[in-house]
Amino acid sequence: MRQFRILSAFSAVLLMILLTGCSGPSRNQKVTDTGFFFDTVVSVTLYGAENEPLLGDCFSLMRDYENMFSRTRENSDIWNINHSCGKPVEVSEETAALLQMAKYYYELSEGAFDITVAPVVSLWDFAGESPHTVPSREELKKALSHVDCRKLEIHGTTVTLNDPEASIDPGGIAKGFIADRIKDFLEDQGIKSGLISLGGNVLTIGTKPDSTPWNIAIRKPFGEASESVATVRTAGESVVTSGTYERYFEVDGTLYHHILNPENGCPADNGLTSVTIISDSSAAGDALSTACFVLGPEKGMALVESLENTEALFITEDLSMYQSSGFEAQ
Ligand code: ADP
Ligand code: MG
For 94-103, write each residue's pLDDT tens digit.
999 999 999 9
Residue 179 pLDDT level (bands cut at 50, 70, 90): very high
Interval between CA 152 and ligand 1 midpoint (Å): 18
Rounded to an integer, the average pLDDT of 103-121 is 98
| Ligand 2 is an ion; residues with CB less than 5 A from it | 172, 242, 286, 289-290
- Per-residue confidence (pLDDT) for residue 140, from 0 to 100: 98
Q: Which helix (H) or strand (E) holds 204?
A: strand 201-205
Side-chain half-sphere CA neighbours of 62 within 13 A: 27
- Per-residue confidence (pLDDT) for residue 19, from 0 to 100: 38
For ligand 1, mutation pick of 148, 260, 279 (most atoms within 8 Å of CB):
260
- Per-residue confidence (pLDDT) for residue 224, from 0 to 100: 86
Please list, in sequence order, all residues whose beta carbon lies within 8 angstroms of the beta carbon of residue 166, skipping any fewer than 6 positions away. Answer: 116, 118, 119, 146, 147, 148, 151, 152
Report residues whose beta carbon is within 6 angstroms of any ligand 1 atom. 113-115, 117, 121, 169, 171-172, 175, 199-200, 242, 246-247, 258-260, 262, 286, 289-290, 294
Rounded to an integer, the average pLDDT of 24-35 is 83
Residue 329 pLDDT level (bands cut at 50, 70, 90): low
- Determine the atom of ligand 1 nearest the C-alpha atom of 247: 4
Average pLDDT, the chain: 91
Nearest Cα to 178, choosing from 32, 326, 281, 34? Answer: 281
pLDDT digits (tens, 9 = 90+) for 220-244: 898 888 889 999 999 999 999 999 9
Side-chain half-sphere CA neighbours of 65 within 13 A: 24
Identify the nearest ligand to the CA of 242 by its number: 1
Burial 254-270 (b: 16+ CB within 10 A, else e): eebbbbbbbeebebbee
**Residue 117 zone, left/alpha/beta (φ > 0; ψ -120 to 50; rest):** alpha
Interval between CA 26 and ligand 1 midpoint (Å): 40
- Per-residue confidence (pLDDT) for residue 319, from 0 to 100: 93
